[in-house]
C-alpha cells in the first residue's frame, strides 16, 4: 500500500463513522507531518510518515475518535522528533491539538527504568499527563500498539524492554479504560517478545488443531444462530478463540497443558435490548448443559469499570466447554472500546452525558501527584471502586472514604478541627447539604468558621465513617463538657426520682465515695459528663447505685426511729407499747423499739440462737449483732459508744441456720481431719469450710466453719468434737 493509498483509507475510515469530520484540517495535518518528517526513516527503512499515518488509522478504526484526535495522531511525533514547536502546531491547527500532541510527547519522553519502583513512579507521571485530556492516553496507546506491531525491526533488548513496559503499563491502562480488543493485542504482542517459546507453543498448537476447532466453532455458531432465528430474536452471534496471552496465563497459573484449558472458546451474542439478553441465556441453557457456578450477571451488577454482560459456561456437543457472553449493542461498544465509546457517543450527540460516568477516572488520575506511587498502583490493581469513594480536596489531594460518605466524613478525614468548625460544604463548586452523598472525582470544599457552633448530634447518624463518628463523639465529650454535665445531671436526677431514691443521699459526703466506686467515676461531674455525651446512661448509673442507696435509706429510718424513741420519756406513751410478740423480727432478731431494721451478724463472734446478744447501730449498715461475751461488745459501757448499743433478742421466727465458727485444738496426728469430718457428718452439720494448720510444737489448729440451727445443735457438735481422740479443746472464737 502506497502512502497515498494509506491516507485514502484513513479518510474513508473516518468518513465511515464521522462524515462531518474536518477533512481539510486532517489533510493539512497529514501534509504538515509529512513535510516535518521528510527524510526520516523508520527502522524498517520505510518513510517515517508511515507511522503517524498508521497511528491515526488505529485511532480512527479502533477508537472512532473525533477530527482533533485524528489530526493530533498524525502530528503526534512532530514536536518530539522534528523542528516543529507547540506554538507552530497551535497556530497552524489549534491550541487544543497542540496540547494533545504535547501531551503525547511528554509520555514519549518518559524514560522507563528497569527498577519496578521507578516504573511505577513513571506510570504515575504518565497517568497524570494522561488525565489532562483522556485523548492523550488514547492516542498514546494507539502509538504503542503500532510500535508493538512493528517491533520486529528493533534490537532484541529494545523488544524486551518495550514489551515489558507494554505488559506492565499500557495493557493494564487499556484494560482499565475498558478497551479490551487493544488490550488483548498489546498482551499478545508483548508475550511474543517476552516468552517467544511459550508464545510459539500456543500459537503452533492452536494452528495444529485449527481445522478441528474451526469446525466446532462453526457448528456451534450455527446451532445458536438457527435457534435464535426460530424464536425471532434479533441478534449477532460470533465465536472466538481465547487470545494467546490469556491461554498462556491460564496454562501458567493453573499449571495445565493447552488441552486441559477449560474454555478455549468464547461466543458472543449481541442483541437489541436487555430483555433479550435474558431470553438468549434461557435458549443457550436449553441447547447446552450449563456448567454450575459459572453464570455471572454483570447486567444486574455491572463491574466497577462499567462493564455489563451475562456470562455463562456450557458444555458443547463435541465435549468442548465454551463461554457465552450475552449483551446489548451499547454494552458491547462500551466493553470493546470503553472510554472511547463514550467519547464517540458524546461527540455524536447520542448518549450524551454517559461520558460523565468516566469523568472521575480522569480526575482521579489527574490528582494523584501527592499520593504514593505504590499505593496508587495497588489501588489501581485491586478493584477499588466498589466500597470506596475517591474525592479531592481543593488542593488536589485525594481522600479515600467509604462508599456513601458525606461532606461530614470528608471534613473529619481532613482534620477534626475542620469537621468541628464546618458551617457548609461545596461539591464541585456548588453548595450542598451535609448529607449529600459524595461521588468519585467530586471536588469537595469545606467551609469553616471560627464562630461555628460545632457538630450537631444528628451528624453522628449522617456520617458514614466510624472515624468521623468517633471524632464527633470526642468533641461532645471534650468541648461540651459543661453542657454535658448539665444534661447528664438532669437525666440522672430524673432517673433517681423515677426509682424513688434521694439525691441528698447520693451527695452526702459519707456516702459519695462508695457510690462513685460502684459506677467507676472519680466525681459526680465526670459521671454526669459521660451521661451527657452518651458514653454512659442514667439508667445504668442508678441501677448500679440502687442497692447501696436503699441500705442508706433504711439506715436513715433506723436513726430517725431511734431518735424519736429517745425523745419520748418513759411511761408517757400515749398509746400502749406494742406487745413483744407483735414486734417483727429481722433474720430472727428483734431490735428493741424498731421495726424493719437492717440486721447483720458480726463476723467476730458469729452468734447463734440461744446466745445472749447485744446490738450495735453502725453507720449505714443497720444493727450489727454480737454475742454479749464478745470482746467487741465489752465496750458497751464506754460513754462514747453508749448511745449506739441497743438491746436485741432472738425472736420466735429464727432462720433455718446461722453461720458460725469453732476452733479445735488437738495433738497433731494422722487421720485427724478424717475424724473431724466424720463427727461433722454424724451430727448432720452443714460445713462451710475446714482449715487446718500444724504448729511447730506438734499441735494442730483446726478452724471449722459451719451452719447450725441454734445453740443446742452447736453444743451437741462441740461435745462430739471433744470426744475425738487427741482433741484438747473446742471453743467458739470471739473478738
Ligand atoms: Mn510514535
**What confidence tens digit (pLDDT) does each residue in 423-478 have?**
999 998 899 999 999 876 678 899 999 888 889 888 988 998 888 988 888 888 88
SS3 assignment for 686-698: EEEEEEEEECCCC
Q: Which three cell numbers stand for residue 366?
A: 489527574
For residue 207, CA distances in Å to 60, 192, 200, 320 come to: 31, 16, 10, 17
Ligand 1 centre from 185 Cα, in Å? 17
Q: What average pLDDT is seen over the chain?
A: 81
Query: Is pLDDT at 185 greater than 60 in this prediction?
Result: yes
Q: How far is Cα 126 from Cα 145, in angstroms, rounded to an integer?
A: 17
pLDDT value at position 265? 87
Q: How far is Cα 403 from Cα 641, in angstroms, rounded to an integer?
A: 73
Ligand 1 centre from 440 Cα, in Å? 33
Task: Band the pLDDT of 312: cuts 50, 70, 90.
Answer: very high
Residue with cell 465526670: 526
First to last CA, the chain: 120
Contact (Cβ atoms closer than 8 angstroms) between residue 628 and residue 649 = no
C-alpha closest to that of 438 among 391, 492, 382, 395: 391
Query: Is pLDDT at 337 greater than 90 in this prediction?
Result: no
Within the chain, all domains assigned CATH 3.30.70.260 are found at: 658-731
Residues 6 or more apart whose CB falls under 8 angstroms from that of 561 comprise 593, 594, 595
Contact (Cβ atoms closer than 8 angstroms) between residue 98 and residue 300 = no
Ligand 1 centre from 708 Cα, in Å? 105
Ligand 1 centre from 336 Cα, in Å? 23
Least confident of 24-33, 168-177, 689-698: 168-177
Percent of the chain with pLDDT over 70: 84
Query: Is pLDDT at 87 greater than 50 in this prediction?
Result: yes
pLDDT value at position 255? 80
Ligand 1 centre from 107 Cα, in Å? 10
Q: Which three-class secondary structure state does DSSP give residue 628?
A: coil
Task: Band the pLDDT of 361: cuts 50, 70, 90.
Answer: very low
Q: Which three-class secondary structure state does DSSP give residue 569?
A: coil
Within the chain, all domains assigned CATH 3.10.20.30 are found at: 386-479
Q: How far is Cα 144 from Cα 149, in angstroms, rounded to an integer?
A: 9
Query: Is pLDDT at 608 greater than 80 in this prediction?
Result: yes
For residue 250, CA distances in Å to 32, 254, 286, 381 come to: 47, 6, 29, 19
Query: Is pLDDT at 115 greater than 90 in this prediction?
Result: no
Q: How far is Cα 667 from Cα 690, in angstroms, rounded to an integer?
A: 17
Which residue did the predictor score with more confidence, 393 or 409?
Answer: 409
Percent of the chain with pLDDT over 90: 29
Torsion from C-alpha of 159, 161, 164, 170, nearest 10 degrees:
-90
Query: Is pLDDT at 13 greater than 90 in this prediction?
Result: yes
pLDDT value at position 647? 85
Ligand 1 centre from 303 Cα, in Å? 32
Question: Per DSSP, what are the bridge partners of residue 314?
Answer: 290, 322
pLDDT value at position 75? 96
pLDDT tens-digit readout, 239-270? 888 889 988 988 887 788 777 776 788 899 99
Ligand 1 centre from 77 Cα, in Å? 6
Residues 6 or more apart whose CB falls under 8 angstroms from that of 516 comprise 522, 523, 524, 527
CA contacts within 13 A on the Cβ side of 213: 17
For residue 691, CA distances in Å to 24, 661, 705, 717 come to: 112, 11, 9, 17
State the average pLDDT over residues 494-506: 85
Contact (Cβ atoms closer than 8 angstroms) between residue 136 and residue 129 = yes
Q: DSSP letters of 700-712?
A: EEEEEEEEESSHH
Contact (Cβ atoms closer than 8 angstroms) between residue 186 and residue 174 = yes
Ligand 1 centre from 143 Cα, in Å? 5
Q: How far is Cα 413 from Cα 393, in angstroms, rounded to an integer?
A: 11
Contact (Cβ atoms closer than 8 angstroms) between residue 658 and residue 707 = yes
Looking only at the bridges linking them, the beta strands covering 599-601 and 623-627 are parallel
State the average pLDDT over residues 311-340: 82
User: To 5 degrees, how large is the angle CA 180–CA 182–CA 188?
Assistant: 100
Ligand 1 centre from 79 Cα, in Å? 11
pLDDT value at position 431? 93
pLDDT tens-digit readout, 530-556? 888 777 889 899 988 888 888 888 887
C-alpha closest to that of 265 among 221, 201, 226: 221
Query: Is pLDDT at 572 greater than 60 in this prediction?
Result: no
Q: DSSP letters of 87-124?
A: HHHHHHT-HHHHHHHHHHHHHHHPPPPSSHHHHHHHHH
Task: Band the pLDDT of 339: cuts 50, 70, 90.
Answer: low
Ligand 1 centre from 51 Cα, in Å? 7
Residues 6 or more apart whose CB falls under 8 angstroms from that of 703 comprise 661, 662, 663, 664, 690, 691, 692
Ligand 1 centre from 68 Cα, in Å? 17
The matching CATH number, chosen from 3.40.50.2020, 3.40.50.620, 3.40.50.720, 1.10.3210.10, for 3-194 is: 1.10.3210.10
Ligand 1 centre from 200 Cα, in Å? 28
Ligand 1 centre from 161 Cα, in Å? 16
State the average pLDDT over residues 715-730: 88
Q: Which three-class secondary structure state does DSSP give residue 304?
A: coil
Q: How far is Cα 532 from Cα 524, in angstroms, rounded to an integer?
A: 12
Within the chain, all domains assigned CATH 3.30.460.10 are found at: 203-342
Domain 203-342 has CATH 3.30.460.10: yes
Residue 263 gets the label, from left (phi > 0), alpha (psi -120 to 50) or beta, of beta
Among 16-30, 177-191, 526-540, 638-652, name the most confident range: 16-30
pLDDT tens-digit readout, 611-645? 989 888 877 677 888 898 888 887 777 777 767 78
For residue 303, CA distances in Å to 79, 82, 180, 216 come to: 39, 43, 14, 31
pLDDT value at position 381? 30
Beta-strand ranges (E) seen in 386-421 are: 388-392, 398-402
Ligand 1 centre from 545 Cα, in Å? 82
Beta-strand ranges (E) seen in 88-192 are: none
pLDDT value at position 386? 46
C-alpha closest to that of 65 among 97, 106, 109, 30: 97
State the average pLDDT over residues 46-54: 95
pLDDT value at position 236? 93
State the average pLDDT over residues 305-323: 85
Within the chain, all domains assigned CATH 1.10.3210.10 are found at: 3-194
Ligand 1 centre from 718 Cα, in Å? 112
Q: Which three cell numbers stand for residue 410?
A: 470528608
C-alpha closest to that of 75 among 89, 87, 59: 89
Ligand 1 centre from 37 Cα, in Å? 12
Please tell me the class of the 386-479 domain: alpha beta
Catalytic residue numbers, as ranges = 80-81
pLDDT value at position 583? 56
pLDDT value at position 620? 67
The pTM (predicted TM-score) of the whole model is 0.47
Edge to edge, what strands does the sheet with 422-427 contain? Answer: 430-432, 422-427, 444-448
Question: Per DSSP, what are the bridge partners of residue 702?
Answer: 664, 692
Q: Which fold has domain 658-731?
A: Alpha-Beta Plaits (3.30.70)
Q: Which three-class secondary structure state does DSSP give residue 534?
A: coil
pLDDT tens-digit readout, 670-697? 888 888 888 888 777 888 888 888 877 8
Ligand 1 centre from 82 Cα, in Å? 12
Least confident of 123-132, 198-207, 267-276, 554-563: 123-132
Burial annotation 439-478 (CB, 10 A radius, 16+ → b, else e) = bbbbbbbbebeeeeeebeeebbebbbbebbbebbbebbbe
Question: Per DSSP, what are the bridge partners of residue 78?
Answer: none
pLDDT value at position 288? 92
Q: DSSP letters of 253-319?
A: HHT--GGG-S--EEEEEEESSHHHHHHHHHHHHHHSEEPTT--EETTTS--TT----EEEEEE-TTS
Ion ligand 1, residue ranges at CB < 5 A:
77, 143
Rg of the chain, C-alpha, whole Å = 46
Query: Is pLDDT at 215 greater than 60 in this prediction?
Result: yes
Amino acid at each position: 500500500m502506497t502512502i497515498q493509498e494509506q491516507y485514502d483509507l484513513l479518510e474513508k475510515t473516518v468518513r465511515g463513522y464521522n462524515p462531518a469530520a474536518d477533512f481539510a484540517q486532517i489533510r493539512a495535518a497529514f501534509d504538515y507531518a509529512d513535510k516535518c518528517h521528510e527524510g526520516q526513516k523508520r527502522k524498517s527503512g520505510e518513510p517515517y510518515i508511515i507511522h503517524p499515518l498508521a497511528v491515526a488509522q488505529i485511532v480512527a478504526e479502533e477508537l472512532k475518535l473525533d477530527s482533533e484526535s485524528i489530526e493530533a495522531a498524525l502530528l503526534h511525533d512532530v514536536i518530539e522528533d522534528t523542528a516543529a514547536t507547540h506554538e507552530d502546531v497551535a497556530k497552524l491547527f489549534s491550541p487544543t491539538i497542540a496540547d494533545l500532541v504535547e501531551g503525547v510527547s511528554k509520555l514519549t519522553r518518559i524514560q522507563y527504568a528497569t527498577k519496578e519502583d521507578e516504573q511505577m513512579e513513571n506510570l504515575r507521571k504518565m497517568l497524570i499527563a494522561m488525565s489532562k485530556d483522556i485523548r492523550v492516553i488514547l492516542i498514546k496507546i494507539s502509538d504503542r500498539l503500532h510500535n508493538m506491531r512493528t517491533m520486529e525491526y528493533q534490537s532484541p533488548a529494545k523488544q524486551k524492554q518495550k514489551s515489558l513496559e507494554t505488559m506492565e503499563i499500557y495493557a493494564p491502562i487499556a484494560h482499565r479504560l475498558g478497551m479490551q480488543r487493544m488490550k488483548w493485542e498489546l498482551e499478545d504482542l508483548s508475550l511474543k517478545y517476552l516468552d517467544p517459546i511459550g508464545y510459539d507453543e500456543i500459537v503452533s498448537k492452536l494452528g495444529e488443531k485449527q481445522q478441528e476447532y474451526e469446525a466446532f466453532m462453526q457448528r456451534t455458531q450455527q446451532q445458536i444462530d438457527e435457534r435464535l432465528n426460530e424464536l425471532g430474536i434479533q441478534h449477532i452471534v460470533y465465536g472466538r478463540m481465547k487470545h494467546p496471552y490469556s491461554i498462556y496465563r491460564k496454562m501458567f497459573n493453573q499449571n495445565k497443558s493447552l488441552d486441559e484449558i477449560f474454555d478455549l472458546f468464547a461466543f458472543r451474542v449481541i442483541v437489541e435490548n436487555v430483555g433479550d439478553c435474558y431470553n438468549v441465556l434461557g435458549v443457550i441453557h436449553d441447547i447446552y448443559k450449563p456448567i454450575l457456578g459459572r453464570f455471572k450477571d454483570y447486567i444486574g451488577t455491572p463491574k466497577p469499570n462499567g462493564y455489563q454482560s451475562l456470562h455463562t459456561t456450557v458444555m458443547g456437543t463435541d465435549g468442548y466447554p465454551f463461554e457465552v457472553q450475552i449483551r446489548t449493542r451499547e454494552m458491547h461498544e462500551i466493553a470493546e472500546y470503553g472510554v472511547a465509546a463514550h467519547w464517540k457517543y458524546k461527540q455524536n450527540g447520542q448518549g450524551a452525558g454517559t461520558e460523565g460516568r468516566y469523568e472521575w477516572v480522569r480526575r482521579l488520575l489527574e490528582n494523584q501527584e501527592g499520593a504514593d506511587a505504590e499505593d496508587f498502583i495497588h489501588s489501581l490493581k485491586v478493584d477499588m471502586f466498589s466500597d470506596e469513594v475517591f474525592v479531592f480536596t481543593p488542593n488536589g489531594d485525594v481522600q479515600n472514604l467509604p462508599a456513601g460518605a458525606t461532606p461530614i466524613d470528608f471534613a473529619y478525614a481532613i482534620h477534626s478541627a475542620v469537621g468541628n468548625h464546618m458551617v457548609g460544604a461545596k461539591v464541585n463548586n456548588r453548595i450542598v447539604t451535609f448529607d449529600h452523598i459524595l461521588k468519585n472525582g467530586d471536588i469537595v470544599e469545606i467551609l469553616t468558621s471560627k464562630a461555628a457552633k460545632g457538630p450537631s448530634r444528628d451528624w453522628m447518624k449522617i456520617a458514614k465513617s466510624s472515624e468521623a463518628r468517633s471524632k464527633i463523639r470526642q468533641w461532645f465529650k471534650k468541648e461540651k463538657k459543661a453542657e454535658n454535665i448539665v444534661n447528664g445531671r438532669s437525666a440522672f436526677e430524673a432517673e433517681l426520682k423515677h426509682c424513688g431514691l434521694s439525691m441528698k443521699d447520693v451527695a452526702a459526703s459519707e456516702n459519695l465515695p462508695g457510690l462513685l466506686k460502684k459506677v467507676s467515676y472519680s466525681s459526680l461531674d465526670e459521671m454526669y459528663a459521660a451521661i451527657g455525651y452518651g458514653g454512659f446512661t442514667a439508667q445504668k448509673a442508678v441501677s448500679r447505685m440502687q442497692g447501696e442507696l436503699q441500705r442508706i435509706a433504711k439506715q436513715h429510718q433506723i436513726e430517725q426511729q431511734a431518735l424519736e424513741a429517745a425523745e419520748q420519756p418513759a411511761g408517757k406513751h400515749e398509746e400502749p407499747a406494742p406487745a413483744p410478740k407483735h414486734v417483727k423480727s429481722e433474720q430472727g432478731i428483734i431490735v428493741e423499739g424498731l421495726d424493719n431494721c437492717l440486721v447483720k451478724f458480726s463476723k467476730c463472734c458469729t452468734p447463734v440462737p440461744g446466745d445472749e446478744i447485744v446490738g450495735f447501730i453502725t453507720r449505714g449498715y443497720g444493727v450489727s449483732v454480737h454475742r454479749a461475751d464478745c470482746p467487741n461488745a465489752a465496750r458497751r459501757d464506754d460513754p462514747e459508744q453508749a448511745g449506739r448499743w441497743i438491746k436485741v433478742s432472738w425472736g420466735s421466727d429464727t432462720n433455718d441456720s446461722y453461720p458460725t465458727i469453732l476452733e479445735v485444738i488437738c495433738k497433731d496426728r494422722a487421720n485427724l481431719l478424717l475424724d473431724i469430718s466424720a463427727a461433722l457428718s454424724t451430727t448432720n452439720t452443714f460445713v462451710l469450710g475446714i482449715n487446718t494448720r500444724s504448729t511447730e510444737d506438734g499441735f494442730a489448729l483446726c478452724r471449722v466453719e459451719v451452719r447450725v440451727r441454734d445453740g443446742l445443735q452447736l453444743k451437741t457438735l462441740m461435745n462430739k468434737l471433744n470426744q475425738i481422740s487427741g482433741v484438747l479443746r473446742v471453743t467458739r472464737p470471739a473478738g
